[in-house]
């Protein structure tokens, strides 16, 4: 499967080699990266005003969904992060007094992460910062454009299975935190490799 995909890419690249080279600005990936870096940087700077990184904010918000706490492995799979990265974030969050790390009752080898009262008090502000950043950068395009962009991004997440941690660790740290829930069934739309 992977060899067939590599062959397709190589053949496409060789066909393009005989044509004129397109400008970098003609690629959607360029614009996604260009805008994504700036939006993520804006969110990061706002979160840092509260002593929290953007990745820590995402972990706190996901942990909030689990009233009785969650194991790092569950958070890692839900957020598309490696377990090691979640563990490092958990150590930092515990040092800041935002989570408790306790041994799991059913499995003494596992840890259970729970929010502290301080974290619960900060969560509305952190969610508000993310909502503000989202509105500032994307609301001007209109609801229809927002829904289209979101649908295309979620389709790519589903199509290329980005929801899960890849076997090779992602080198771009800012993309490790993404988790987009699927709200439709695309099984019929999935192309065969």
- Least confident span in 41-45, 104-108, 121-125, 175-179: 175-179
What was the pLDDT predicted at 153?
A: 85
d(CA 53, CA 47): 6
Helix boundaries (H) for the chain: 2-17, 28-48, 54-64, 72-79, 83-95, 117-138, 143-159
What was the pLDDT predicted at 80?
A: 80
* 114 beta partners: 100
Cβ pair 176, 170 in contact under 8 A: yes
Dihedrals phi, psi of 144, to nearest 5 degrees: -65, -45
What was the pLDDT predicted at 51?
A: 92
* 184 beta partners: none
Q: Would the pTM of this model clear 0.85, i.e. be above it?
A: no
- For the stretch 107-138, pLDDT in tens is 777 789 999 999 999 999 999 999 999 899 98
Q: What topology is assigned to 27-175 in CATH? A: Arc Repressor Mutant, subunit A (1.10.10)
**Helix H or strand E segment including 102:** strand 99-103
What was the pLDDT predicted at 3?
A: 60
What was the pLDDT predicted at 18?
A: 56
- For the stretch 54-95, pLDDT in tens is 889 999 999 999 988 999 988 988 888 888 899 999 999 999
d(CA 67, CA 69): 6
* 101 beta partners: 113
| Better pLDDT: 75 or 179 | 75
Question: For the chain, which residues make up each domain, given as ranges?
Answer: 27-175
What was the pLDDT predicted at 191?
A: 38
71 three-class SS: coil
Cβ pair 59, 118 in contact under 8 A: no
- Indicate if the pLDDT at residue 192 is higher than 50: no
| Better pLDDT: 112 or 172 | 112
């Amino acid at each position: 499967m992977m060899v067939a995909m590599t062959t397709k890419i190589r053949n496409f690249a060789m066909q393009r080699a005989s044509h004129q080279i397109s400008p970098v600005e003609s690629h959607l990936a360029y614009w996604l990266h260009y805008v994504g870096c700036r939006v993520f940087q804006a969110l990061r700077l706002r979160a840092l005003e509260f002593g929290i990184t953007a990745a820590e904010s995402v972990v706190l918000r996901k942990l909030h969904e689990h009233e009785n706490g969650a194991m790092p492995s569950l958070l890692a799979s839900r957020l598309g992060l490696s377990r090691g990265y979640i563990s490092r974030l958990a150590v930092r969050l515990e040092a800041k007094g935002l989570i408790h790390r306790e041994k799991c009752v059913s499995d003494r080898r596992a840890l259970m992460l729970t929010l502290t009262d301080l974290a619960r008090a900060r969560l509305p502000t952190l969610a508000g910062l993310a909502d503000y950043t989202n509105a500032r950068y994307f609301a001007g395009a209109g609801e229809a454009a927002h829904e289209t962009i979101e649908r295309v991004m979620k389709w790519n997440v589903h199509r290329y299975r980005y929801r899960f941690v890849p076997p090779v660790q992602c080198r771009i740290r800012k993309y490790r935190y993404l988790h987009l829930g699927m709200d439709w069934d695309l099984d019929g739309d999935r192309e065969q490799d």
